[in-house]
Amino acid sequence: MSKLKKLQLSLFRNIEQATLHFTDGLNLIIGDNAAGKTSLIEAIWVLSSGRSFRSSKPAHLINNQYPEFTLFAEVEQAEQNYKIGLTRSIESSLCKINGEVEKSQAQMAVHLPVQLLTPESHRLLEEGPKIRRQFMDWGCFYYAPEFIKLWRIYQRVLKQRNNALKQQQAKSQVQLWDTQLVDVAEKIDDIRSNYISKLSPFVAQFCVALMPEISENLDMNYRAGWAKAAENYHSVLSQNYYKDAKLGHTQYGCHRADIRFKFAGTEAMLKLSRGQQKLFVCALLLAQASLFEHTSGEQVIMLIDDLPAELDGNHRLTLLKLLDLLKIQHIITTTSEDLIPCIQTDTTKIKIELGKII
Ligand SMILES: Nc1ncnc2c1ncn2[C@@H]1O[C@H](COP(=O)(O)OP(=O)(O)OP(=O)(O)O)[C@@H](O)[C@H]1O
Ligand SMILES: [Mg+2]
């Protein structure tokens, strides 16, 4: 079980100092617009992933009047307690786990596995493949411990190959990188396709639970980033060498992977209403949470920013019941308590006003 027990913030956005205690089930954060609700969700996300979901730059996370922020969390996982700390300024970042400096952000994610649903989550269906790769790789990170190392090697080798292409080095120089790139790409591809095939039945199951009105079967189609049916990756690189050289970068590979979602042959984005798109993203996250539990025996912590903006009353209730059934700790923000159907007696309610917990 992974449960967030306590969160302390110092000089994070509009929150100068705050300490929050969480229950294992439903935690409601209630406040008016601009009170600091999303900032609290963002703080937990930053502690887990090392970055904001608003921008890749950290400046907006640091309180305007000060040079750095500090976040601290206490997490219970597999009957152990972990204290996770992060201090961040524009130039530097210091992570600590149980008082020891931790160089790898990945360890923070291991001890604080969180998922995030925001009013922008339907972008997963609308936008380019990057956001879907992030979704898939969140799962692969926890599903296969070697994934993160392979992904780092892949990025490093791809960068070297792209540099060689940009500098118009000789073909033999560029192709020096191919064997290494192919070796690691095939391993990443194996993990991703395996993960998606394991995830797919869970997604189908949660689609039925959240959108029983849809009778068509869901088809989740993983794409490697090169035409696998036609060629192996090595020959794809060889055959596209001249085009790559002209463009100055490698066109095909794991950095171009994607997942397509279709209902009876129709793209999910075209078939589903806006509300259904949000429910579909909920189904994807719940599926990941369930597979995560199957493989690790742990549970994720679900962060939901502005639940009422996401779903209507009935669907809010269905989602909360599912989270309760799956015993997932959930931290939800809302502008009004009345909009959240409370189905548990031990709900923790946290009120925030102009950056202060009241
Ligand atoms: N770096 C910063 N320093 C201080 N305050 C900031 C900083 N960045 C943003 N803010 C302010 O923090 C406040 C809280 O923002 P936040 O997005 O958390 O609000 P919210 O409660 O989620 O509001 P809404 O209901 O409108 O989504 C806003 O007034 C915002 O302008
Ligand atoms: Mg907000």
Q: Give the residues across from 18 on adjacent strands.
A: 9
- 34 within some domain: yes
Cα angle for residues 164, 170, 172 (degrees, 5° grid): 95
Split into its structural domains, the chain has a count of: 2
% of the chain at pLDDT higher than 70: 99
- The residue whose CA is least distant from atom 26 of ligand 1 is 33
Note whether 102 and 158 are same-domain residues: no
- What would the mean pLDDT of 98-119 be, rounded to a whole number? 95
pLDDT of 344 > 80? The answer is no
- 279 within some domain: no
Of the listed ligands, the closest to the CA of 334 is 1
- 290 within some domain: no
Q: Which of 38, 331, 335, 352 to mutate to test the pocket of ligand 1 (most atoms within 8 A of CB)?
A: 38
Note whether 16 and 103 are same-domain residues: yes
Note whether 139 and 256 are same-domain residues: yes
| pLDDT tens readout for residues 139-162 | 999 999 999 999 999 999 999 999
| pLDDT tens readout for residues 22-66 | 999 999 999 999 999 999 999 999 999 998 888 888 899 999 999
Note whether 143 and 89 are same-domain residues: no
Note whether 229 and 199 are same-domain residues: yes
Q: What is the pLDDT of residue 1?
A: 77
Note whether 156 and 96 are same-domain residues: no
Q: Give the residues across from 80 on adjacent strands.
A: 77
Q: β-strand 80-89 against 15-21: which pairing, if any?
A: unpaired
Q: 230 or 102: which carries more pLDDT confidence?
A: 102
Cα angle for residues 216, 221, 223 (degrees, 5° grid): 165
> Looking at the whole model, is its pTM more than 0.85?
yes
Residue type, 47: L
Residue type, 81: N
State if residue 90 touches ligand 1 by the CB under 6 angstroms criterion: no
The DSSP secondary-structure symbol of 65 reads T
The length of the chain, given as a count of residues: 358
Residue type, 99: G
pLDDT of 343 > 70? The answer is no
| Residue finishing a domain among 263, 284, 307 | 263
Note whether 104 and 141 are same-domain residues: no
- 282 within some domain: no
Could you tell me the two tokens for 206? 């949660």
Q: What is the pLDDT of residue 205?
A: 96
- 276 within some domain: no
Residue 292 to residues 80, 194, 199, 209, 297: CA-CA distances in angstroms?
19, 14, 10, 19, 7
Note whether 158 and 137 are same-domain residues: yes
- The residue whose CA is least distant from atom 29 of ligand 1 is 34
State if residue 295 touches ligand 1 by the CB under 6 angstroms criterion: no
Q: What is the pLDDT of residue 341?
A: 83
Of the listed ligands, the closest to the CA of 36 is 1
> φ, ψ for residue 4 (rounded to 5)?
-85, 120
Decide if 218 contacts 202 (C-beta within 8 A).
no
Note whether 1 and 80 are same-domain residues: yes
Note whether 80 and 194 are same-domain residues: no
Rounded Cα distance between 345 and 176, Å, is 63
State if residue 56 touches ligand 1 by the CB under 6 angstroms criterion: no
| Residue finishing a domain among 211, 237, 263 | 263
Measure 26 CA to ligand 2 centroid, in angstroms. Answer: 18
Report the CATH number at residue 49.
3.40.50.300
Sign of the four-CA dihedral 175, 177, 183, 184: negative
- The residue whose CA is least distant from atom 22 of ligand 1 is 38
State if residue 65 touches ligand 1 by the CB under 6 angstroms criterion: no
Measure 90 CA to ligand 2 centroid, in angstroms. Answer: 23
Residue 65 to residues 14, 68, 69, 72: CA-CA distances in angstroms?
10, 9, 11, 20
Note whether 134 and 220 are same-domain residues: yes
| Residue finishing a domain among 246, 263, 280 | 263
Report the CATH number at residue 142.
1.20.1050.90
- The residue whose CA is least distant from atom 18 of ligand 1 is 36
- 280 within some domain: no
Could you tell me the two tokens for 39? 């900032």
State if residue 36 touches ligand 1 by the CB under 6 angstroms criterion: yes
Could you tell me the two tokens for 7? 């969160």
Q: What is the pLDDT of residue 57?
A: 84
How many C-beta atoms lie closer than 10 Å to residue 214's C-beta?
Answer: 18
How many C-beta atoms lie closer than 10 Å to residue 30's C-beta?
Answer: 21
Instruction: Note down the domain range covering 230.
Output: 126-263
- 325 within some domain: yes
| pLDDT tens readout for residues 186-215 | 999 999 999 999 999 999 999 999 999 999
- 281 within some domain: no
Residue 68 to residues 7, 57, 59, 92: CA-CA distances in angstroms?
17, 13, 9, 9
Note whether 78 and 137 are same-domain residues: no
